[in-house]
Structure 1
Amino acid sequence: MDFIAPFVEWLVFIFVMAIGLAMLAVVVMFLLDLSQREDAIRRNYPVIGRFRGMFTKLGEFFRQYFFAMDREEMPFNRAQRDWVYHSAKGLSNTLAFGSTRNLSIPGTPIFVNAVFPPLDDQFAATKPMVIGPHARHPYNAPSIFNISGMSYGAMSRPAIEALSKGAKKANIWLNTGEGGLSPYHLEGGCDLVYQIGTAKFGVRDHDGNLSDDKLREVAAKPQVKMFELKLAQGAKPGKGGILPAAKIDEEVAQIRGVPMGKPAISPNRHKEIDDFGDLLDMIAHIREVTGKPVGFKTVIGSSDAYEELFEMIVARGPEAAPDFITVDGGEGGTGAAPMPLMDLVGMPLREALLRMTDMRDRFGLHDRIRIIASGKLVNPADVAFAICAGADFVVSARGFMFSMGCIQALKCNKNTCPTGITTHDPHLQRGLVVQKKYKGVANYARGIVGEVEMIAHSVGVAEPRQMRRRHVRMVMADGNSVLLRRLRPSVEDAAAIPEGSKTAETPVEAPDA
């Protein structure tokens, strides 16, 4: 047993030294905290005050995994994310024992099931829809649900590859985002919508102006089916995008046409577009140069402003109209945006979508201009509501990020995304295995479409685009629900509601004051 005694002595020595070093560290931290002048808590409560910062940072983690209920989190709750995760893995999304959703919260949509829905053999899949009938190369878009703009640079290489391959497998389109066309967008062979942001990344000349030669070069690629002129984004209306210098390597700089070492900053608007006349001129120019359908993406602050646009379209003729309008809600997402713009600017999508589709239809442009809904639409109910409200297509970005494994770590702007989706750190990108994740992208898209078709079948129509505002009810402040057609009649519905009706579902006026 003699050999044990020296070992015990060493253990005691190490233990005493550790205690001594710990006490010394506490004394040093105490003196540092007492002498520093930046943090009042640490100055008044040396050492102990340090725990506040640590707990604040850890609070986000503990809320997500331990304390928040399934429907409590923002911007997306656990129930929403879990639906996407299950769909991406091809698992069942059936539930047991009852819904966990509180159906008495004002604004909750409740779909109106038919008394005698169609039989299973009377149900049809969603049909393709033509966009841009006046373009030389119209686009016959196959799916109601597609991938919204996500730029290479903001997104990692494996993320873009997975989105491209998944989009091809699901037969949906992928919007490039404003960062230009990378080889990874093309790699999967899917249909692409090329987004032209205010900085004209990828189609700009040396002075930052739109280059017709580069437009033709992009349009010559058969995968590029449409062009989207980005006016505004839901998370930051009135402010351009910022790609940090840390995310701009040699490849990103070449694709975007920007110098390395500096952040790539987009202006807050297109300098060539001062009014709606300029907007229609620009759309016509891009359509003529490329031969492809052209539309624009915007955020509505007041629908009154867009009356002038539709009046101008009618005056110029239907050929002058944009081929589509993407309506982004003020709740839209991004990797980085100032809090006041993200929280407080821009009309929420539900209201904005209703107003835009009403204007389009009132001016007789229902079959000319397609409406695309964008903004926090990640689950079947979100998509079904948008279609009931008049959208022809729905696009999602964050839903597809979840399908690739996003855990809502809220690190998109820090190049430290733990799932490898929004980082250029090679070590972190290792976690995103393209050959696995692209299947999740396709499964998620198919899951959304399949369950939206199921909702359509339940409300009594053969396919989703036959759903109308009479097929969804909205929960009001008193807990009762009212048909959406009564709250906000469409052009089609208004003629069907008797004038002076005094029923419990009398239309509610909703002027844009």
Structure 2
Amino acid sequence: MELVAPVVEWLIVAFVFAMGLAALAVVVMFLLDISQREDAVRRNYPVIGRFRGIFTKLGEFFRQYFFAMDREEMPFNRAQRDWVYTAAKGQGNTVAFGSTKNLSIPGTPIFVNAVFPPLDDQFALTKPLQIGPYARHPYMAPSIFNISGMSFGALSQPAVEALSMGAKEAGIWLNTGEGGLSPHHLVAECDIVFQIGTAKFGVRDHDGNLSDDKLRAVASKPQVRMFELKLAQGAKPGKGGILPAAKIDAEVAEIRGVPMGKDAVSPNRHAEIDNFGDLLDVIGHIRDVTGKPVGFKTVIGSSDAYEELFEMIRARGPECAPDFITIDGGEGGTGAAPMPLMDMVGMPLREALLRMVDMRDKFGLKNRIRIIASGKMVNPGDVAWAICAGADFVTSARGFMFSLGCIQALKCNKNTCPTGITTHDPHLQRGLVPERKYIKVANFAKAVVKEVEMIAHSVGVAEPRLMRRRHVRIVQANGDSIVLRHIRPSFGGDDLPASLNPNTAPVQAPDSRK
């Protein structure tokens, strides 16, 4: 008891002291709030008004974990993310009791299962598809599902290394994004698509112009299979890339050729490309210098503008055509973009893809130009829809970020990513171990392809690229669904009504007079 009394006294003193400090802090905050002139709420309600700011910042996290339903959250809901997480772990994605997906929402795709689907032993795997028949080194692309452009700098070193190793394991390509080719892209010798952005990072000379010598140096690496000229991306069409200064360390600065301490802002377009003729000239030049297939990535504002491109290709000849066109939807994402561009500029992928596919097929270039769909494609249903619509390949960026462990913290532009994916803070990066995460990247890619093949088998075809618009229905505003080919007939032939199909001769009745 003799020892207890002094301890209690000290605890009382400590408590009183702590309360005194707390009271002093409240008084200081009161005086600061009532005297400041920037925030009206804090000025009118000193101290208490501070809780509004705290709750506003915490609101997105509380909604994500406690309040939002599985299929409500944006930009990706919990059901979408959970599918990726489960697939990345290599676990089965079977569910019990019934679907939680609301099938009455307009725009929802519903696949048309065959009455008599192929038997299980008739199931065929996805076949490789050639890109760039006029290039000296065409690319036989093995997978329909690949990794979209994400730059080193926007992503951390361990994230890029995990993607490289995962791509090699899954047999898919990895797009470098516009930030140049880093050693981390090459750690696993996976297939690489080198993206040339408007700033030409990695292949620019001292004046910022395209350097043929640097193009040859990049093309000399056998892992680099194709070059993609980025005209625009979905999150910010009409504006160049933005890498915040906080994410530019010495290595990023050296690879990109930019100074540290200031944002790296790419031009809004390629200065030397003023029209479609210039675009075809630059594509042809890069293909001649590198010997590799070359295409371009863009966002469609109006498909009418691209009529001139295809007319020009027809006049010049198929050898001048881009080897592929990547269509990014206006709903695409990025680490940093102005909200008006992200929210309101650019045609959504579900409309843009159909328009570009039809334009290509209308001019008879289906077997010459490959179409790559990009934009919020993270689940098998998304990929299967894109293939039905006419895409030859689908790429995803954020899907693979989820496979790395992204929790949609929405901190990509602040160098504070809690999962180590989009930060250059060594303390945060240590949480991402490439030697473990790459397996999840590969599992996710394999799961998507497997389940797209499953959908293809269910609708009655032996290979995903044999799916057509007749194999998917789209839910309308009244709740009914309509086959996609009736909403937008294709120029591919077999999806057209017989009366409009140039490849289908009408059946002639025998002439009784003969």
TM-score by length of 1: 0.96
Trace 1:4-43 onto structure 2 (pairs within 5 A): 4-43=4-43
Q: Find the counterpart in structure 2 of residue 60 from structure 1.
A: 60
Q: d(CA) in 2 for partners of 1:242 and 1:171?
A: 30
Trace 1:138-149 onto structure 2 (pairs within 5 A): 138-149=138-149
Trace 1:102-117 onto structure 2 (pairs within 5 A): 102-117=102-117
* Contact 2:228-2:296 within 8 A present in 1 as well: yes
Trace 1:218-297 onto structure 2 (pairs within 5 A): 218-297=218-297
* Contact 1:331-1:375 within 8 A present in 2 as well: yes
Q: Secondary structure at 2:140's aligned position in 1?
A: strand
Deviation at 1:93, TM superposition (A): 0.5
Q: Find the counterpart in structure 1 of residue 3 from structure 2.
A: 3
Q: Secondary structure at 1:486's aligned position in 2?
A: helix
Q: d(CA) in 1 for partners of 2:498 and 2:240?
A: 43
* Contact 2:468-2:495 within 8 A present in 1 as well: no
Q: Find the counterpart in structure 2 of residue 511 from structure 1.
A: none
Q: Find the counterpart in structure 2 of residue 425 from structure 1.
A: 425
The one-letter amino acid paired with 1:470 is R
Q: d(CA) in 2 for partners of 1:63 and 1:261?
A: 35
Deviation at 1:262, TM superposition (A): 2.8
Q: d(CA) in 1 for partners of 2:78 and 2:498?
A: 40
Deviation at 1:498, TM superposition (A): 4.7
Q: Find the counterpart in structure 1 of residue 395 from structure 2.
A: 395
Give the RMSD, CA atoms, in angstroms: 0.9
Q: Secondary structure at 1:7's aligned position in 2?
A: helix
The C-alpha deviation readout for 1:145-164, integer Å capped at 9, x for no partner, is 00000111111000000000
* Contact 1:174-1:191 within 8 A present in 2 as well: yes
Q: d(CA) in 2 for partners of 1:487 and 1:310?
A: 24
Q: Secondary structure at 1:490's aligned position in 2?
A: coil
The one-letter amino acid paired with 1:26 is V
Greater shift, 415-424 or 240-249, is seen at 240-249
Q: d(CA) in 2 for partners of 1:216 and 1:3?
A: 81
Q: Find the counterpart in structure 2 of residue 405 from structure 1.
A: 405
Deviation at 1:261, TM superposition (A): 2.8
Deviation at 1:493, TM superposition (A): 4.9
The one-letter amino acid paired with 2:380 is P
Trace 1:467-478 onto structure 2 (pairs within 5 A): 467-478=467-478
Q: d(CA) in 1 for partners of 2:35 and 2:265?
A: 40
Q: Secondary structure at 2:228's aligned position in 1?
A: strand
Q: d(CA) in 2 for partners of 1:234 and 1:283?
A: 21
Q: d(CA) in 1 for partners of 2:262 and 2:342?
A: 24
TM-score by length of 2: 0.96
Q: Find the counterpart in structure 2 of residue 333 from structure 1.
A: 333
Deviation at 1:263, TM superposition (A): 2.1
Deviation at 1:104, TM superposition (A): 0.3
Trace 1:60-459 onto structure 2 (pairs within 5 A): 60-459=60-459
Deviation at 1:496, TM superposition (A): 2.0
Q: Which runs of 5+ in 2 are unaligned?
A: 501-514
Deviation at 1:342, TM superposition (A): 0.1
Deviation at 1:495, TM superposition (A): 3.7
Deviation at 1:196, TM superposition (A): 0.2
Overall identity of the aligned pairs, in %: 82
Q: d(CA) in 1 for partners of 2:266 and 2:10?
A: 63
Q: Find the counterpart in structure 1 of residue 484 from structure 2.
A: 484
The one-letter amino acid paired with 1:147 is I
Q: d(CA) in 2 for partners of 1:246 and 1:107?
A: 40
C-alpha distance 336-452 of structure 1, shift in aligned 2 (>3 A)? same
Deviation at 1:47, TM superposition (A): 0.8
Q: Find the counterpart in structure 1 of residue 506 from structure 2.
A: none
The one-letter amino acid paired with 1:415 is N
Q: Secondary structure at 1:342's aligned position in 2?
A: helix
Q: d(CA) in 1 for partners of 2:190 and 2:13?
A: 66
The C-alpha deviation readout for 1:366-387, integer Å capped at 9, x for no partner, is 0000000000000000000000
Q: Find the counterpart in structure 2 of residue 496 from structure 1.
A: 497
The C-alpha deviation readout for 1:283-313, integer Å capped at 9, x for no partner, is 0000000000000000000000000000000
Deviation at 1:255, TM superposition (A): 1.2
Q: d(CA) in 1 for partners of 2:361 and 2:299?
A: 19
Q: d(CA) in 2 for partners of 1:39 and 1:493?
A: 63
* Contact 1:485-1:493 within 8 A present in 2 as well: no
The C-alpha deviation readout for 1:140-190, integer Å capped at 9, x for no partner, is 000000000011111100000000000000000000000000001011110
Q: d(CA) in 2 for partners of 1:15 and 1:85?
A: 46
Q: Find the counterpart in structure 2 of residue 502 from structure 1.
A: none
* Contact 2:372-2:393 within 8 A present in 1 as well: yes
* Contact 2:144-2:394 within 8 A present in 1 as well: yes
Q: Which runs of 5+ in 1 are unaligned?
A: 500-513
Greater shift, 71-80 or 254-263, is seen at 254-263
Q: Secondary structure at 1:439's aligned position in 2?
A: helix
